[in-house]
Amino acid sequence: DTAVSQTPKYLVTQMGNDKSIKCEQNLGHDTMYWYKQDSKKFLKIMFSYNNKELIINETVPNRFSPKSPDKAHLNLHINSLELGDSAVYFCASSAGAWVGYTFGSGTRLTVV
Amino acid sequence: GQQLNQSPQSMFIQEGEDVSMNCTSSSIFNTWLWYKQEPGEGPVLLIALYKAGELTSNGRLTAQFGITRKDSFLNISASIPSDVGIYFCAGHSQGGSEKLVFGKGTKLTVNP
């Protein structure tokens, strides 16, 4: 059983399109995250939800909108995609940041 | 914001050699974590450290929580080809937000 699963694994789309990435965790964790990993492999936090409530919202364009229908799911919707949005997006979950995160395997988004 | 300086940025070694990498911060952390990311996958937690001076091993990996609480080290002994990947340090401050601060990673290449 995959602990943190993201879909799709790969996403190629044109500029201006709207796309969504889905994430689900079966670990019973209360907190979920979205991270962006750029071409230099730097991991940058975007959002975090705790039990469906937004608790972290870093400086991210408002074209990015997370949604957490329940504590096991955290989806990311991106409007009006731009070339600079091309990156790998990781979902993660934790029982508390101090015990570490469990990451999904990532979604490679390519905007052309 | 908090930043972690991770070094070296990359390492090219021969199989069988020992590896050492470190992370430093200008501020104190209460938790240090080390992750490994393999190509096409998300980071996976290797070792978690919770006490200043703590030395923890996981197979051929050994990590230490610096006494000043501002640094941590990861050593890999007798490297093998499957050690290839990017190693990230991460820190968490008690009383801080529910997020980890990540280093920029050390890319390890092992030549057979």
Dump pLDDT digits (tens) for A54-77.
Answer: 998 887 899 999 999 999 999 999
Find the chain A residues whose C-beta atoms sit closer than 8 A to any C-beta of B: 4, 31, 33, 40-43, 45, 48, 50, 55-56, 90, 92, 94, 96-106
- The string of pLDDT tens digits covering residues B63-99 is 999 999 999 999 999 999 999 999 999 999 877 677 8
Secondary structure E strands in A1-112: 4-7, 10-13, 19-25, 31-37, 43-50, 53-57, 64-70, 73-78, 87-94, 102-103, 107-111
Q: Give me chain B's average pLDDT, please.
A: 94
Spatial neighbors of B81 by CB under 8 A, at least 6 apart, are B15, B110, B112
For chain A (112 residues), the mean pLDDT of every run of 10, in chain order, is: 92 98 97 95 93 88 94 96 97 92 97 98
For a pLDDT cut of 90, what percent of chain A falls above it?
Answer: 88
User: Cβ contacts of residue B48 below 8 Å, gap of 6+?
Assistant: A99, A100, B31, B32, B33, B34, B56
Q: What pLDDT, on the 0 to 100 scale, is given for residue B95?
A: 72
Residues from chain A that touch B40, judged by Cβ atoms under 8 A, are: 105-106
pLDDT of B2 > 90? The answer is no
Residue that is written with structure tokens 């508390």 in the block: A96
Nearest to B103 by CA among A28, A16, A41: A41
The pLDDT, as a whole number, for residue B1 is: 59
